[in-house]
Amino acid sequence: MKAAVLNNINQNLEIENLIQESPKENEVKVKINFAGVCASDAHIMDGSATLPKPVVLGHEGSGTIVEVGSNVRNLKPGDRVIMSFVSNCGHCFHCRTGIPNLCSENLRIGSKLFDDTFRLKKQNNQEVYQMGKIGLFAEYSVCPSQACYPIPKEISLETAALIGCCATTGIGAIINHQNVKTGMSFAIFGCGGVGISAIQGAKLLNASKIIAVDIDDEKLEFTKKFGSTHTINAATESPIKKILEITFGNGVDMALDTFGSSGTSENALESIRRGGYAVIVGLANEGEKIQVDAVSLVRKQLNLTGSYYGTTSSHETFRTIVNACRNNQLDLNSIVTKKFPLEKINIAFNELNSGAITGRGLIEF
Ligand SMILES: [Zn+2]
Ligand SMILES: [Zn+2]
């Protein structure tokens, strides 16, 4: 079974022929159709995030069920599925209280399967981890059945792949925020796959203003067809000054940092109105800190939160997004601008890192 393996940080992924075990109880085998080229994979490749190695990366994708293990009753061969990079255990505190996207058992066991063992090994018998218990830069994935969400036939496998990470992360952060209201004004920092999704999430809520902020003019231009009402190039003008100007001196109701860095998060916080909401969605480098002015936080009654994988149950966000796609209220297919075969995966990540991919790139199997 061919897969792209990360053996060490700051090295190319290597296409290797791995040995794959059959699915065990509550597990399935999925033929991968598409896998997204996401910054979260790049962070692991360059060491700014950590996973044990060797590991098959790839956490955003779609596939088709080819085999089910014992006790799997909700999936069958032929089902087309969204892949979730958080498999919920169903019985921890977070699963029981309605936030299975934060499942503590999933986090504890990490890049192995729930029985604490591996399904992949090299020809020399060295065991290989799977990112998010799925590892989608591979022809097949043996994973927990909870990782798979079946989709209706009118949803394309490209759209399904994006729902697996960037669409759910960006749209969910907005529509599942407990204080969100129709007609609010938004600033979206970062216009990659998550940022464009967030813009569409804001549009879904009939936002009064959707201000896109990035440092790349081509990416800013691209956001206009998804609903941005204003664009700001933060490399040439101050986003905070400009956002205050656009909002008549008040600031936006809600700002999202979809990029993930101290600078963009601090800008997001400074661009919201008194009593407004700043949400950090993108992942900064491990250990990075943001500076918050303690007095402003109180006097301006600012709200700063994080949002992981759409804020609530990711399967529930999948359902909402699938329905919105069926009603033509969202256009995820058009976010995909480039496709690469598995053999060109290192070129795909070089292009992502250099900013050459506008929208989202997919690995096509
Ligand atoms: Zn991702
Ligand atoms: Zn759990």
Which of 289, 306, 323 is the endpoint of a domain? 306
Q: Which ligand is nearest to the CA of 57?
A: 1
Considering the domain architecture, whether residues 319 and 251 belong to the same structural domain is answered as: no
What distance in angstroms lies between residue 116's CA and the mean position of ligand 2's atoms?
Answer: 15
Considering the domain architecture, whether residues 157 and 64 belong to the same structural domain is answered as: yes
Considering the domain architecture, whether residues 78 and 177 belong to the same structural domain is answered as: no
Q: What is the pLDDT of residues 237-289, one digit of tens each?
A: 999 999 999 999 999 999 999 999 999 999 999 999 999 999 999 999 999 99
This prediction's pTM: 0.97
Contact 83, 38 (CB under 8 A): no
State the pLDDT confidence band at 336, using cuts at 50, 70 and 90.
very high
What distance in angstroms lies between residue 105's CA and the mean position of ligand 2's atoms?
Answer: 5
Count CA atoms within 13 Å of residue 113 on its CB side: 23
Instruction: Give the count of domains, the chain.
Output: 2
Q: Which ligand is nearest to the CA of 197?
A: 1
Considering the domain architecture, whether residues 249 and 330 belong to the same structural domain is answered as: no
Considering the domain architecture, whether residues 134 and 235 belong to the same structural domain is answered as: no
Helix spans in 142-216 (H): 157-163, 166-175, 193-204
Considering the domain architecture, whether residues 179 and 146 belong to the same structural domain is answered as: no
Considering the domain architecture, whether residues 102 and 196 belong to the same structural domain is answered as: no
Considering the domain architecture, whether residues 252 and 271 belong to the same structural domain is answered as: yes
- The mean per-residue pLDDT over the stretch 81-110 comes to 97
Q: Which residues pair with 364 in a beta bridge?
A: 34, 341
Considering the domain architecture, whether residues 273 and 351 belong to the same structural domain is answered as: no
Q: What is the pLDDT of residues 342-352, one digit of tens each?
A: 999 999 999 99
What distance in angstroms lies between residue 316's CA and the mean position of ligand 2's atoms?
Answer: 15
Closest listed residue to residue 199, CA positions, set 215, 175, 218, 181: 175
What distance in angstroms lies between residue 238's CA and the mean position of ligand 1's atoms?
Answer: 28
Domain that residue 232 falls in: 170-306
